[in-house]
Amino acid sequence: MHKFEDMGTLIVHPENKEQLSALKAFMKAFNISFEENKQPYNAKFVEKMKISKQQAKEGKTVKVGLDDVWK
């Protein structure tokens, strides 16, 4: 019997389909359970992040002082 409280979680970021396939095969061969999240980020969220990143590059940011964070 496994002690699950002693087990950790790995988050793996394969760079291509070949790596993904190899990782899946390895885990299956060693009877390692895994979950695959096939849900992409919400398109609206991705667009907002791209806009924010561009604004930051352009210096269009707002600084909040530590004293103002908890107001």
Tell me the CA distances in angstroms from 23 to 20, 36, 45, 65, one per residue in order.
5, 11, 29, 45
As a whole number, mean pLDDT of residues 4-10 equals 74
Residue 5 has pLDDT above 70, yes or no: no
pLDDT tens sequence across 60-69 = 999 898 888 8
Residue 37 has pLDDT above 90, yes or no: no
Tell me the CA distances in angstroms from 27 to 10, 34, 40, 56, 69, one per residue in order.
12, 8, 23, 40, 45
Q: Is the pTM of this model over 0.85?
A: no
pLDDT tens sequence across 12-36 = 888 999 999 999 999 999 999 998 8
Amino acid 42: pLDDT: 86
